[in-house]
A and B are shown apart, each in its own frame.
Chain A
Amino acid sequence: MCVRALLLDGSAGEEMRPAVEASESALREMGHQVETVRLKDKRIGQCRGCFGCWVRTPGQCIIDDDANGIMRSFVSSHVIVLLTPVTFGGHSSQLKKALDRMLGSTLPYLERCGRETRHPRRYDMVQRMLFVGLLPHRDHEAQATYRELSERNALNFRASGWAMALVFSNERPEMASIAVREALLKAGIAP
């Protein structure tokens, strides 16, 4: 079976390039089909919070822009890799804009999921998620917040496995490759 991997690059410039290239090459070496989307080059409007994707045009956003193409790839990929400069412990606004528009990949209903409440998935695709965050240097508070957010995102999107990789601008580029490869294994992403 061909495993499809979608990489969403939420950087504003070239700062994520080592992490993006490390993710692409590690996944390709495993034989996976990789699609990388540079979000800054896409026309993506803000989620309007209208819930049209739930109760007006189920599964589809009413805004006609590039987010709909990303949704198509998002729901049909086995591996989702979210790459972002860690922004106050969270995702960049660029990546967040795309994630906010993925609401239609879930159903509106509320159901228990362990001790939490979550929305059921709209699609059956079993997905694994990798979160790759870039920090200028070690920052324990930001790292802890990013880890918590990644865990919650993985739960929200009902990922069957997930892991987080941190990359630091003040480290050698090959460290990005090591961090990404370790995280892929931890998330259960294999050839």
Chain B
Amino acid sequence: MRAVLLIGSPRGERSTSRALGAYMLEGLRSRGWEVGERYACRDVTTSEGLTDLLAEMERSDLSILSFPTYVDSPPAAVMRVMETMHGRIKRGGALLAMANCGFIGSGNNTSSLSICRLFARDIGWEWRGGLSLGGGNVLAGRALQDAGGVARNVRRALDQAVSALAEGKAVPQGAIDLLGRNIVPSLLYNITANRAWDRAARKNNVLDRIRDRPYMEEERR
């Protein structure tokens, strides 16, 4: 059996999307699956890349799409892959989608996952389920094995998901619910995230300009 991970984050190897997907691939590999990885943002830039990606997805028994939610839906590169696959896919397959977002509530990925489910429906693929993680910034692209206690529930949820997927089943509701829990308390997350943005701006010497309105200023001139 073969699985391919399609990483939908423009941050590529450094992304939380890749960290989550790589953990699942490792679980499948340990069960004897062949696995491969592709990056949507690179593949959509050339027709050869898109063709190779489609061929790899077609010859895989399971495609895992892992991406960050941007403006309530999958990033543009992921939508481009979906548009290209629609009408060109000739062989059946199965899709699992896994969305993460910067807001703490995993409910912010709902639209993203609905779009992926409809994509699977429209190309005639089996839908193996949608996994949703809020507060993805906490993981900051770290390998889940190295992320300590904060990622305990994430690892448990993905372990449950991999067990089902390896047997050709959809992810169980228990895994979806477990991953959907707040990774840290929401108030703590928001306070910590806001301080982190200030730190990042200070490091770049722009903290005093973080609320700038460059285009409004141009208008006034």
**Chain A contact residues, CB within 8 Å of chain B:** 46-51, 54-60, 71-72, 75-76, 87-93, 96-97, 99-100, 102-103, 107-112, 116-118, 122-123, 141-142, 144-145, 148-149, 152-153, 156
Contact A88–B82 (Cβ < 8 Å):
yes
- With known contacts A46-B10, A75-B216, A117-B103, A56–B71 Cβ distance under 8 A: no
Closest chain B residue to A86, Cβ basis: B118
Nearest-CB distance from B141 to chain A (Å)? Answer: 11
Contact B211–A149 (Cβ < 8 Å):
no
- With known contacts A60-B214, A117-B186, A54–B197 Cβ distance under 8 A: yes
Nearest-CB distance from A121 to chain B (Å)? Answer: 10
Nearest-CB distance from B123 to chain A (Å)? Answer: 9
Contact B194–A145 (Cβ < 8 Å):
no
Could you name 22 residue pairs across A and B whose Cβ atoms are closer than 8 Å?
A55-B203, A56-B204, A59-B212, A87-B83, A89-B111, A89-B115, A90-B73, A91-B79, A96-B74, A99-B70, A100-B70, A103-B70, A103-B71, A108-B197, A108-B201, A110-B190, A111-B190, A118-B103, A141-B118, A145-B111, A145-B114, A148-B110
Verify if B164 is at the interface (C-beta below 8 Å from A). Answer: no
The 8 closest A-B pairs by CB, nearest first: A97-B76, A93-B79, A93-B80, A108-B197, A152-B72, A96-B76, A55-B200, A88-B118
Give the chain B neighbours of A144 by CB distance below 8 A.
Answer: 114
Give the chain B neighbours of A156 by CB distance below 8 A.
Answer: 71-72
- Interface residues of A: mostly helix, strand, loop or mixed? mixed
Among A47, A76, A92, A149, contact of B219 (Cβ-Cβ < 8 Å): A76
Contact B193–A110 (Cβ < 8 Å):
yes
A153 to B108, CA, bound (A): 11
Give the chain A neighbours of B10 by CB distance below 8 A.
Answer: 46-49
Nearest-CB distance from B148 to chain A (Å)? Answer: 23
- With known contacts A87-B82, A148-B111, A122–B70 Cβ distance under 8 A: no
Given A90-B79, A142-B118, 19 extra CB contacts under 8 A:
A48-B11, A55-B210, A87-B115, A88-B122, A90-B74, A91-B73, A96-B71, A99-B71, A100-B71, A109-B197, A110-B194, A111-B190, A117-B103, A117-B104, A144-B114, A149-B72, A149-B73, A152-B108, A156-B72
Closest chain A residue to B191, Cβ basis: A110
Give the chain B neighbours of A153 by CB distance below 8 A.
Answer: 71-72
Contact B216–A123 (Cβ < 8 Å):
yes
Q: Which of B72, B116, B197 has the most chain A CB within a 10 Å cutoff?
A: B72
Nearest-CB distance from B197 to chain A (Å)? Answer: 4
Nearest-CB distance from A172 to chain B (Å)? Answer: 26
Closest chain A residue to B9, Cβ basis: A49
Contact B201–A96 (Cβ < 8 Å):
no
Nearest-CB distance from B103 to chain A (Å)? Answer: 5
- With known contacts A46-B41, A59-B215, A88-B82, A117–B190 Cβ distance under 8 A: yes
A153 to B11, CA, bound (A): 23
Nearest-CB distance from A99 to chain B (Å)? Answer: 5
Contact B204–A55 (Cβ < 8 Å):
yes
Nearest-CB distance from B69 to chain A (Å)? Answer: 10
Closest chain B residue to A69, Cβ basis: B215
